[in-house]
A and B are shown apart, each in its own frame.
Chain A
Amino acid sequence: MIYVIGSIVLFIVMIALPFMVGYNELKEKKDDENLYVNRNYVREPRYFGESFRALLNKAKKEWEGAAKGTETKIHLSKN
């Protein structure tokens, strides 16, 4: 009889143990906030294209104002 009772107790403990850890979290609520979503996040999908065009336009102005035969360098990097 003792073996039967022992087995049942052991079974209940084994089943309940994983839930106990979760039960503590349900009671203490350490991590129950919504996942953070930055609702103010914005990005300009044409940022690359427009930056590139701005660099070319700037260089074009320099080239148009320069004397004939002058070499114009276009720096595609800001560095």
Chain B
Amino acid sequence: MKALVWRVARVGARVGVVLAVLLAWQALSATGALPSQEFPSATGTFAALGRVLQSAELWHAIRDTLAGWALGLLIGASLAILIGTVLGLNRFAYRSAIPVIEFLKTVPIIAILPLAILLFGATLKMKFLLIAFGVFWPMVIQVIYGVRSIDPTVRDTARVLQLRGARRFAVVTMPSAAPFIMTGLRVAAATALVLDIVAELIGGGAGLGLSILFAQNAGPSEVTTMYAYIVVTGLLGVLVTGLFILLERRVLHWHPSQRNLRPQDVG
């Protein structure tokens, strides 16, 4: 009973905070403390949000953003897993490759954006190639470390059980590497979204970023629309991150980090 009360109180507190922030926002803009040119009112933003959710443009923009994100992530992550695994399995290969990859990982992808715009214009192709490139480097490092990070007892057991070749790779190496790979994937998904929006905002690729820019350029009358689009982008972020957290939980259900270490309930 007490636990239930606590849960309700907690949810209530969270809702309360959100409401309090909205009320404060509304009050500040109504009294003119926040200049209405730059800060729309809370109600205004919500009205705009309602309006925008019904417009076809929003959903086209979401589709465009997601298209770039999904393609870029798919290409970048797949290549990273493939190449990372190959590199990770060979000592010489990964010792040689890691310094180069670590260097390239620190290069801000933004630096490549103007080049990408030059080569491909403000297109979906530009977006997903940029995203794939940006997502690849940190992820391939994660895959390499994952493939190499096999626990000594796990490895010894594999030798004793006479596990070799493809079977060993599938049954031992990959699951061992899975926590690293899943972490890398989760981070990659978030990075991909960030790069996506930047490519749209600056590169002019179609999507939510561009819509935000249009709304901003349309002047004070569209300020509420701009904020509405920003909120939608945030919600997309919540969706994407949530999706990958769930995925991680599912795939790594056996890993100590995911299971609540239950009291020994069997004898």
Real binding pair: no
**Could you list which residues of chain A lie within 8 angstroms of chain B, going by C-beta atoms?**
none
**Could you list which residues of chain B lie within 8 angstroms of chain A, going by C-beta atoms?**
none
